[in-house]
Structures are given as C-alpha cells and as structure tokens.
Structure 1
C-alpha cells in the first residue's frame, strides 16, 4: 500500500478529535441479525453520519464449490449482474451511473459477494435497490459477454505464468492442500477454464445463489424497519435452495517440504507456510497477537528487525494467518536478491524458532497496546463495518465480536501466546517455496 509522508504530521488537536470520533464510532456499532422469510441471514448496523446505504450480499459460492470445473465460481461471479431479462449490459451501467450508485463483486475460496452503495434519498435509493435486486435474482448470461470475459480471463491467466509471486502462491496452495477444494487457484487454470460453458454457469448460479446460502449485510442511514423491508425485497425472488454441506478438514503436512522453481529474475520470492486455523478458532486472539510480534506489525515485528534492519536482506517481510471456513494457511513471505535467498531462509527460520521459545514482555505489551488502541480505526467508515459484519454473518461469529475481540486481546498473556503457537506451528513440518534463481 502506498503511503504519503507529506501529511504525516497532523496538529495534536486534529489527532485527538479523530481518535475520539473513532472511539465513538466503535462504541456505537450495534449489530443486529435476523432471517428473511425465505431463510437468508441479515446483518444490520445503523449509521447516521452520512446519507448513504451500503449493502453486501454474500453467498456460499466460492471456488471451493467449483468441483472439477476450476474457475467456475469466479466466472459466474464475474458475469453476475451484467444483464437481466429487462436490461442489457449498457442499460445496467447507465441506470447506476444516472443515480450515482456503485456496484461491485468479489470472489474467494469460501464465498462470492455482490455489493451496492447508494444515497438514501428515497427516489434514488429505491431505484438502486430495484435494479440491484434484479441483478441478483434475474441475472442473465449471454454468449457474447461470456466469450469476451473468457478471453480476458485467459489473458490474465497467461500473465500469471510470468508473475513469480503468483507462481509461488499457486504452488503453495496446491502443495499445502493436495486434493482439497482449496488447492486450486480461485480463477482456475488455462487448462481448466476450457471446461466452463454457459450451461454449467447457469447451473452453478441456480444452485448457489439462493437464499439459504445468503448473508445480507446492511450498513447505513436506514432504520431497522427499513432494513427489514430492504432485506425482504432483495430476497423475495431468490429461490430458497439448499444449505450446502460443509467442507472437509484439510490434513497438515507430515514432513517438511522444499520447492525451488527456476525463474528468470534478479529476486527470489520466498514463502514459508503450513496449515493454520479455521475462522472462529478459540485460539485466534493469542495467535493474532503473536503474529503481530513475529511479522504482522511491520517495523515493530521480530522478522523486520532480524531480516531487514539487522541484515538488510529485504525491503519487506511479513507473516499472517488467513482463517477460512476450514483451516487456512499460515504464511511468512518476502523477496530478496538471489544471492541472499539462502541466508534469508535461515534467518526467517531462526527467528521463528526463537519466537516460539521466548520473546520480551515489553514487546508483547507494546503490540497489545497498539492493537487495542488502533482497533476503532478498523471501523471508522461504513465500508469497513460492512466488511466486518459480512464476515461475522458468513462465518457464524458472535454478534458482539467487534467488542469481544479487543477484550480477548487484552487478556492474552505471554504464556497464552507461547502455548497456542507451540500447539499449532510445527517448524519441522513446514513448506518452503523459492521462485527465482536462489544461490
């Protein structure tokens, strides 16, 4: 992420006002939830600062549901809402442009979502909602648009073959997950997307974009009565459908693996990984705090101190957990000169091993203070709140999660961190991937 240093030094009073407003925003986030008549889960937060409404509809329609047609979920998500039975692609675009509304879509391994942002002025909001509802429940898939988007997808997939970071990522997921539905790339491969056609797109849409698999997140300047009507409108024409079966739990590696992929580059792209945890795991708070000590907090982390500041091997090094419906990966990543790849690998592993044994109480407290103090800034606008309550709804987390999680961080002790990391992270059974010309 680009960062501008021109405006780094704010007046003290402005900083304090921002901080107070952020704390006020956090305190006022009251999440409510209910179900629509045909079974969709609704997550709702009222915000009155701006005359705006943000909606995200999330479906259990991610690439883990592709079956043997890899890329099917992503292509379906990309085509969703391009046309309806009454509006062609140009008319859809003009409708939203004329009222200043915005739509978007995304897809991951776990889910696919479509979102709307509009003003809450009644005539504008209602037109936006009417059009948005038809995009979701009456989406049409034309051969011409499908062929155009397929060509774009193939170009993007070809570009991935010359992107070392993408190559490393695909090998990481493939090796960690084997035959699991998470193993293949979300967008598929050049070989797999040739299996995609309009028939299986229409079938996927009919099976997965249903009320029983939907979470509707609503954030904005609408009261609960309005939110209830909006949720019913958005789902009234969706089929109820069936709740999909859960995903199987992936099996961790039984021994260390090392993969070196030759790539013509002056840099080596490095990953060290293993299976992590599922979303909602009770150990997440201690793992989250520990990860910020290890590599998740930028310049305050041990990896940055050891790999960058002391040895100058990298510009950036990081670590993170990516919780999913089932165990997502834990990853340490960096890029370095080919000549220093082996040294960087050793320093990363030595730093991880040292962290698993001990770290300073001062660093723990500094990280906790930073996380708790900065938590309100994670929810200082509608978009951020929308993302959080969509996650809470989709993964079945407690409604008070946004208040509960900072309290869990406060409770985390040094021994808690050491215990959960020792239980989960196995340095002798991790996957090492290097893409480049490591020496």
Structure 2
C-alpha cells in the first residue's frame, strides 16, 4: 500500500527534482525495504522523455520520370515498406460520371479488390497473404487512397506491388459484388435513423453545400447507389485512378534509388490518363440557415457552422491556432469553459475546421438536455461572437501554440503516420520539407495573425444551424441570435460576402499543417 512518503517521492520525481533532498528514508528502511530497491527504477523515469524524442523524418522529393509527384522517407527501424497512392478521386468526383450518382467512389474503393478477369477475390486475398502484405482502399471527399504495407524483402515486395497494380488496372466490379454492398447499406440506413449525431452531420453538409459535390454523404444514398453499374465503376477507375491524377508516398527500409525505382514502376504501369479538373465554388450563405430534425429524446443535439476555406489559403495555420483556442483543446477551450465548466450544459463541446480543395467547413457541436437547448445555443453563439470581436488573449495563444507543438510529433510517430503525412503533403502541394519547418511556421504566428484570420473567415451572422430534438422553437432561437449579433455583426448583402480561395497554388505551400484524412463516411 502507498503511504505519504511514496507520494512525496513520486511527486518530486515527476517535477524533475532530487527526491533525496525532501524525503527522509529512515522510516522506510526497516518496514518497506522494497521501496528503496525501487528508487533507481523510479529515477530512470526522468530520462524517458529524453530517450524518446522523435526526430522529424527527412522527406525526399523523388525525380519520377513520369512527372508523378513522389515523396520518400527512409526508415531503417523496421524491415517494412509503406506505400500510399493518393488519387484526386474522392466522393466529390461522383457526379462527373453521371448526375445524381452519389457513392460511386466509395463503392469503387469497397469493390476494387473483389476480382479481376483473371483473379477472384480469394485469389487476390491469398496473393497478399502469401507475402504478408496488407492492402486497403478508402474513399474520402477529396481523396481516393490505396495503401500497401509489406516487408522490404524484394521477394515479398515485388509480388505485392505487382498484385496491387493488377487490382488497380483490371478490377471488374462485378454485379454480384455490387448487390452485396446494396444489402449491407440497408442495415446502415437503419443505424443512421437511430443515430441523431449522424443524421445531424448529413443534414449539416447538405444544408451548407446545397448542390456542391461536397453536399452528399461519401457512401451516397440508398437511392443513388442502387443505380450504380459495373460499367460506371469501370469508367470511374479509367478516368480517375490513373497515373497523372496521382501522387505517391513511400516510407520504409529502402534507399532513395530503390524508392525511385518503385515509384516509377507504379507510375509507369498504371493508365496514364489526365488530372482531375478543379472543383466548383460553393455558394456562401447570406443569413442564418436553421434546420430542425425531429427526434424523440431527452437529449438535444446541436451543430453550428459555416463554409471555411481551402488547404491552399495562407491563413490556414492561423485558423488552426484559432480553432484550438475556441473549441479544439478540451477543457481549456472557450466552448468547454462556457458550456460545461461555467454552466454544466454539456459533457463536451468541440470545434473543427476541415480544409479541402474547395472551401471546407468550420463547425462546432455538442449535446444537451432539451430544457437547456435554446440557452445553450445562445451561449455557444455568443462565445463565437465574442471570439471574433474581442482581442486575442496573447498568453492563451502562446499556450495553445506550445500545445500544438508538443502534439505535432504524433503526426510522425510511426511509419504509417509518416507515410500518411507524405500523402497529404503531396496531394495538397506542400513543400517536401513541411514537417521540418512546421515549428518555425507556428512560432511566427502572432496574435494579430490569428485575429485577422478569424475576422476574415468566421461569420457568426450567417451560420448554418442543425438541431436534432423532440421540441424546437425556431422563432425564439432566431430572436436570441439576433440579440447576440447587434450591433457588431449586421447581416451583410450578398455582394459584400468575399469569395473563398479555391485555386491550388502553382508552387508548393509551406504554411499549412499536414494531417492525414479525417473524413468519416456516413453509413448510408
């Protein structure tokens, strides 16, 4: 059993101070000799942080002769190779195959390893299993990602890569496989109807984006996927899963010469094709858009947000800092302080930005008791109004930046994470050394940078608000929101709303944080 001496010892060790200066060990020597034997082990804890410091991976830009951007990070710790092929072929491309054909990218990802003309699904699975390889494909809003993890031994690596290329080039997307996906989505549809948070998320995107390609759920709808044919899936593959619509990321136990050869093998053996065209510009709101989903429950769910900006916007890193301060940093965030700590309205409230090829979104959400619904929305909205209108707290901003810097090594603490970062860097045209220069970029961000960014990009006067609850008084809420706005945020005319940045830069960007994809598909 611990006694007070043990707690004093542990506390002093954690603080990095000498335990012997504060603790009298005489009472321990007769009764608990095992404590003395443990002291050297406890003292060794002081060295753990120093021993486990992660160094930033060195990222090399490979000179791929097929003009396919290829990034490589050598890692000698494991005899493994991680490969990520990131195509500009996410769910935003669905309707480029046929109008209303939502869910085609997602279905292509699910069915791509279900068979070719010469190999069945079992043949493909066994081919990867024989060499201990892991193959997967996933569709997101912007990206279609194919991953392969395999031993670096050429006897394992080469057949795994060969099978991956056969799957990408020759998938047949058979009708029987499509029917299996259709039957599975019937279960997913019922799960959505029983999940207020998932219904809320789907409604939010539809309300926010209207007719834009980002509006529909990534897996499509029951009605849209029932129209998808094998021929349309093959057309999607032939148009988008091609070499010139791709970037390659490689991490593992290879040298740069071997990595270049591998990247050229992949780029040279895929259909060459063309780059996908730029996405359309979503339409900005001019006022509040409040929508209600009736759901019988004592809990109400709320999501508020607006169009954000692109990955290419130079304000992106300042907005990342702003988001951490407002709702992204747990109990220290403004939202948590206002809604939970001060008033106990919710267990948790969080905000986030999604930065995409076309303008992404800014949103924050929480759940609360039905009888606290209107008050909680008023408080959350007022918190955003104040955050935009009042000067940034410089001390809190510095603490936020320090926390972001401490957390940044989590982005490259494994080969898989490193490779995901390379995929994101390549896809969004960031500089190859982004991971190395991130600390300097973050350090340069000032309170004025953050203030300017939020006043330019956050608009409390034209939020989209989704409420999932049993009872809801829309008119009462509108009155409360207008009280919050006056007089700082008069409702603008449509002509006064600035356009968001949509065009990717001609040169690599160096001022945006790389994160691997976080779009979670809705099961519909």
TM-score tier (shorter): over 0.9
Deviations, residues 114-134 of structure 1 (Å, cap 9, x unaligned): 101112123222222222222
The 1:373/1:238 distance shift into structure 2, 3 A limit, reads same
Q: Cα distance, 1:12 vs. partner?
A: 7.2
CA RMSD of aligned residues (A): 1.9
The 1:140/1:38 distance shift into structure 2, 3 A limit, reads farther
Contiguous gaps of at least 5 residues in structure 2: 1-12, 15-41, 473-524
Q: Which has the larger radius of gyration?
A: 2
Equivalent of residue 341 in structure 2, options 285, 305, 309? 309
Q: How many residues get paired?
A: 428
Equivalent of residue 186 in structure 1, options 215, 218, 236? 218
Deviations, residues 147-202 of structure 1 (Å, cap 9, x unaligned): 11222134323422332112111111111111111111111112211221111111
Equivalent of residue 216 in structure 1, options 248, 258, 262? 248
Q: Structure 1 runs of 4+ off > 3 angstroms?
A: 9-23, 34-39
Aligned equivalent of 1:32: 60
Q: Which moved more, 1:151-160 or 1:377-386?
A: 151-160
Secondary structure of the corresponding residue to residue 449 of structure 2: helix
Q: Cα distance, 1:361 vs. partner?
A: 2.2
Secondary structure of the corresponding residue to residue 195 of structure 1: coil
Aligned mates of 1:254, 1:143 — CA distance in 2 = 45
Query: Is 2:184 the partner of 1:156?
Result: no
On the 8 A contact 1:133/1:233 being kept in 2, the answer is: no
Aligned mates of 1:416, 1:385 — CA distance in 2 = 29
On the 8 A contact 1:340/1:438 being kept in 2, the answer is: no
Aligned equivalent of 1:362: 395
Query: Is 2:237 the partner of 1:237?
Result: no
Aligned equivalent of 2:48: 17
Query: Is 2:176 the partner of 1:176?
Result: no
Query: Is 2:92 the partner of 1:64?
Result: yes
On the 8 A contact 1:339/1:438 being kept in 2, the answer is: no
Aligned equivalent of 1:409: 442
Aligned mates of 1:372, 1:390 — CA distance in 2 = 21
Name the structure where strand makes up a greater proportion of residues.
1
Contiguous gaps of at least 5 residues in structure 1: 1-8
Secondary structure of the corresponding residue to residue 125 of structure 1: helix
Aligned mates of 1:36, 1:360 — CA distance in 2 = 47
Aligned equivalent of 1:88: 120
On the 8 A contact 2:392/2:451 being kept in 1, the answer is: no
Deviations, residues 365-415 of structure 1 (Å, cap 9, x unaligned): 111111112212321111111111111111111222212332222111212
The 1:96/1:12 distance shift into structure 2, 3 A limit, reads farther
Deviations, residues 49-72 of structure 1 (Å, cap 9, x unaligned): 111111111111111111121111
The 1:12/1:317 distance shift into structure 2, 3 A limit, reads farther
Aligned equivalent of 1:353: 385
Aligned equivalent of 1:45: 73
The 1:20/1:296 distance shift into structure 2, 3 A limit, reads farther
Secondary structure of the corresponding residue to residue 254 of structure 1: coil
On the 8 A contact 2:411/2:421 being kept in 1, the answer is: no
Secondary structure of the corresponding residue to residue 409 of structure 2: helix
Aligned mates of 2:386, 2:213 — CA distance in 1 = 34
Aligned equivalent of 1:343: 375
The 1:55/1:351 distance shift into structure 2, 3 A limit, reads same
Aligned mates of 2:319, 2:130 — CA distance in 1 = 47
Aligned mates of 1:420, 1:339 — CA distance in 2 = 35
